[in-house]
Structure 1
Amino acid sequence: MGRVHIREFHDDDLDAVVGLWWEAASSAEPPVYSLAEVTASCREDHAVVAVQDDRVVAAAVGRAAHAQGWIVFFGVAEHSRSENVSAVLLDALERRMLPLGISTLSVLMPEDGRIDLLTSNGFRLRHRLRYLERRLPVQRRELDLLKDVGGRILPRHLWDQVAGMHHEKQLLEERLVAPLAQPDLADRYGVVPPRAVMLFGPPGTGKTTFAKAVASRLDWPFVEVFPSRLGDGGTGMAASLRGIFERIDQLEHAVVFIDEVEEIASQRRGDPPSPTQGVTNELLKIVADFRAREGLLLICATNFVRALDAAFLRHGRFDYVLPIGLPDREARDAIWRRYVPPEIISAIDVPMLVERSEGLTPADIEYAARRASQEGLARELRAETAPAARAELATVDYLEALAATRATVSAAEVEAFLQDIEALARL
């Protein structure tokens, strides 16, 4: 066999590197980095190959991050494995990356992988280390598309921040999140993952918050479609809606949210037709298309479920029609604790505030808390006493703010909501 020589990676070597990766993947030492990552680093970062008899028999691929260098892939064909080939190849990669200013060169290995080829070449085994990874919810090819449709990645843990509302959270967890996040488990029980869901309830009860929490829980991008902006580009509303959803369809995963959907899904009238009848027809078609597409979830929300066209609430359109009501006692407690400054929370009678705020929406409670804080600040600015003598906020301040807060939802609206649950909810 001919002599082995080392050279830089050429584009023509890609097939050989892919072959080495697959050879490693089928052995007891599978590569840590995916094939896509390795091939991308071959082209964009740093790679050297070992050639014998015009055939690539080994490759080393590296990537630099600040002063840290990483070996993304190190593979030697089984028939060419020797300390000499490994040493020369690693030395070549190190020389290639030294001008980048790296201070260390590191490599991740499978737990049962051979490390002798590395330790014999100056690499030191570090103990008590664990490798963790997280797959990002949006891949690079989707970033521009996500930006184009106005989507975004929401912070994680929004689900946990929705305190209280156990009944609503349990419904959403069991009906939406679990079947989509664990499709194999859903298949075992014959559960078809949902494609479209309607949330309804009085204004300000947190329907948008729940939709965002579901996206966060699934770790999917969140795309909100605003009915009021349809047709802004000079096209008709129906064409604009169709164009948005055609672009969304190119995303691998997404939670698509339409708030106040009654604006484009109100009851149609035959003669004369309503101005939004065309967009209502288009939305019905889009919902049908959604049902044939995996990886996307449509969540619509409305304050006036009775105003929706009857076709939207039929079986086969929306999998579930879920009510979102006023916050329960535990939820009100959590909301107050979120807005009362932590420095004084121990001196505030939170249970009394929870009791007095029954019937208020989360937005109402937030308004009352912020009003009390603002009044306290104004009182401090008007005071002539020294700052050390200032009076801190007390329970009475929050009670006064509550007395000045007008409830968003009236008793009549609450009664109508309860009737809608009986007549229209589908759990």
Structure 2
Amino acid sequence: MNWLIHDYREDDLASVVHLIDTTADLGQESVFSLAECISALTSRQPAVVAVHRGEPIGTALAHVSGGRAWVMRIAIAPAWRGRGLASALLMELERRLVEARVHRIAYVLAEEEMLGEGLRKAGYTRRPAVAYFEKTEPATGTTANLLEELGGRLLSGGLWDRVAGMESEKNLIERRIVLPLAEPERAARHDVIPPRAITLFGPPGTGKTTFARAIASRLGWPFVELLPSRLADEGNLAAALRSAFARISELERVLVFIDEVEEIAPVRSAGTDSAMYGVTNELLKLIPGFRERDERLLVCATNSIRSLDPAFLRPGRFDYLIPIGTPDATARAAIWSRYSAGRNTVDLDALVEASELFTPADIEHAARIASQAAFERDSADAGAHTGDYLSALRQCRPTVTPAAIAEFNADITTHARL
């Protein structure tokens, strides 16, 4: 990514207006006039601007009325077309609109053009009569207030496409989890019952939380994370779990995520604390009720699946137990390509070889160190080079050890259910 996207500022006005005006004849026309766009900008309607080396190269702006937002224009400098900038601008604009509690996002094209296909991929639906694209977000009012109370939110679109590497895990989750939930009628024709609860297991930092968030983004469902530590702060953890699931049941659709679930569903034994025993029992009773409703998914994650109570993992409660391991060479190449922005001067093979056993989080940390080194050097070169990345890798220690990998592989044999 060679650009930075920020909220529109007053001193952007001249350059943004110039960008909108000069791109109007390049297939980026809109039913909104330039004067209307200027009026929206000066009245502080939501807008974002992409810059490269201090120069604006793209913009997206909207007008909010009631619970609906109209995307007025996405303007891209000619040299930056076809490089993913339009999607990035739309995603950032959507994120701000969702935070503003907008219920529907609409885009009206002057005529059919290439942007229409991009809007379809971003989750918009074309309506009859004109090239009118609309995207529905969670309702405002009681539902939105309940979601806010639960600490939940609608995640920005496109998170699924931004999961770099890990293609085998991504393809499995797409086929087993996402498609049956996204296309229930098609699933019903083939007697496929959409999953209601899954567990992701694997070493820390391998992307279990990222996958959970990406699934919610892909489905367009609200994402609610239940934190055991926060629930415990309410005093009675079992009662807090019961109350949280009762409130969640009022939502029309939702993905519920519980990370480090071993904290509330550990293996029970004769020496198990009675209070924790009660918490595990409560969760075991709540899951069947959760499974009775359509358009909801419980995703649990754990670093140690062998630490979970066997009754918690049985098929009647969880449809799939999916391993999420460290990225293989192909996945590491994809991740490094993302962080190095595809620069030909970066030796991806060297980085892949030097980052064996590194998790996606480890690679991100190393990439940040390399970018910081390039920033402090501030040479004429654009971005970090191979030496910066290799130096950063030497400063980092992989989260996952060979012993942890051996344990994980054993857990796949013993516990995985795909």
TM category (shorter chain) comes to 0.5 to 0.7
- Aligned partners of 1:65, 1:160: CA distance in 2, in Å? 30
C-alpha deviation, 1:391, in angstroms: 10
Matches of residues 95-114 of structure 1 in structure 2 within 5 Å? none
C-alpha deviation, 1:421, in angstroms: 0.6
Q: Which residue in the other structure is 2:375 paired with?
A: 377
Q: Which residue in the other structure is 2:393 paired with?
A: 402
- Aligned partners of 1:301, 1:313: CA distance in 2, in Å? 12
| 8 Å contact kept, 1:152–1:222 | yes
Matches of residues 203-222 of structure 1 in structure 2 within 5 Å? 203-222=204-223
| 2:144 is the alignment partner of 1:143 | yes
- Aligned partners of 1:249, 1:391: CA distance in 2, in Å? 50
Q: Which residue in the other structure is 1:285 paired with?
A: 285
| 8 Å contact kept, 1:159–1:217 | yes
C-alpha deviation, 1:141, in angstroms: 3.4
Q: Which residue in the other structure is 2:157 paired with?
A: 156
RMSD of aligned alpha carbons: 2.4
| 2:385 is the alignment partner of 1:424 | no
Do the aligned partners of residues 325 and 245 (structure 1) sit closer, same or farther apart at CA in structure 2, a change above 3 Å counting? same
| 2:176 is the alignment partner of 1:175 | yes
| Per-residue CA distance 1:385-415 (angstroms, 9 max, x = gap) | xx66x89743112111111210100001111
Matches of residues 386-401 of structure 1 in structure 2 within 5 Å? 393-401=384-392
| Per-residue CA distance 1:17-52 (angstroms, 9 max, x = gap) | xxxxxxxxxxxxxxxxxxxxxxxxxxxxxxxxxxxx
SS in 2 for 1:151: coil
Q: Which residue in the other structure is 1:193 paired with?
A: 194
| 8 Å contact kept, 2:366–2:389 | yes
| Per-residue CA distance 1:286-340 (angstroms, 9 max, x = gap) | 1121121222100000000000001012120101101011113333223223333
Q: Which amino acid aligns with 2:330?
A: E
SS in 1 for 2:157: coil
C-alpha deviation, 1:275, in angstroms: 4.4
- Aligned partners of 1:138, 1:183: CA distance in 2, in Å? 22
Larger Rg: 1
Q: Which residue in the other structure is 1:297 paired with?
A: 297
Q: Which amino acid aligns with 1:377?
A: F
C-alpha deviation, 1:216, in angstroms: 0.7
| 8 Å contact kept, 2:138–2:144 | no
- Aligned partners of 1:182, 1:308: CA distance in 2, in Å? 32
- Aligned partners of 1:202, 1:331: CA distance in 2, in Å? 16
Do the aligned partners of residues 392 and 206 (structure 1) sit closer, same or farther apart at CA in structure 2, a change above 3 Å counting? closer
SS in 2 for 1:406: coil
- Aligned partners of 1:337, 1:357: CA distance in 2, in Å? 13
C-alpha deviation, 1:379, in angstroms: 4.4
Q: Which residue in the other structure is 2:265 paired with?
A: 265
C-alpha deviation, 1:223, in angstroms: 0.4
Q: Which amino acid aligns with 1:328?
A: D
Q: TM-score, normalised on structure 2?
A: 0.66
How many residues were matched structurally?
295
Question: Displaced runs of 4+ in structure 1, greater than 6 A?
Answer: none
| 8 Å contact kept, 2:203–2:408 | yes
- Aligned partners of 1:394, 1:168: CA distance in 2, in Å? 30
C-alpha deviation, 1:189, in angstroms: 1.1
C-alpha deviation, 1:359, in angstroms: 1.3
| 8 Å contact kept, 1:222–1:256 | yes
Q: Which amino acid aligns with 1:278?
A: G
SS in 1 for 2:285: helix
Q: Which runs of 5+ in 1 are unaligned?
A: 1-63, 71-127, 381-386
Q: Which residue in the other structure is 1:41 paired with?
A: none
- Aligned partners of 1:308, 1:391: CA distance in 2, in Å? 48
Q: Which residue in the other structure is 1:332 paired with?
A: 332
| 8 Å contact kept, 1:268–1:274 | no
- Aligned partners of 2:271, 2:159: CA distance in 1, in Å? 46
SS in 2 for 1:220: coil
| 8 Å contact kept, 2:178–2:219 | yes
Q: Which residue in the other structure is 2:7 paired with?
A: none
C-alpha deviation, 1:65, in angstroms: 4.8
- Aligned partners of 1:194, 1:391: CA distance in 2, in Å? 46
Q: Which runs of 5+ in 2 are unaligned?
A: 1-63, 71-128
C-alpha deviation, 1:132, in angstroms: 2.4
- Aligned partners of 1:254, 1:419: CA distance in 2, in Å? 33
| 8 Å contact kept, 2:201–2:321 | yes
SS in 1 for 2:187: helix
SS in 1 for 2:326: coil
Do the aligned partners of residues 272 and 263 (structure 1) sit closer, same or farther apart at CA in structure 2, a change above 3 Å counting? closer
Q: Which residue in the other structure is 2:307 paired with?
A: 307
- Aligned partners of 1:377, 1:142: CA distance in 2, in Å? 45
| Per-residue CA distance 1:133-178 (angstroms, 9 max, x = gap) | 2222445431101000010110111111112222211211111111
| 8 Å contact kept, 1:196–1:318 | yes
SS in 1 for 2:297: strand
Deviates more, 1:347-356 or 1:188-197: 347-356
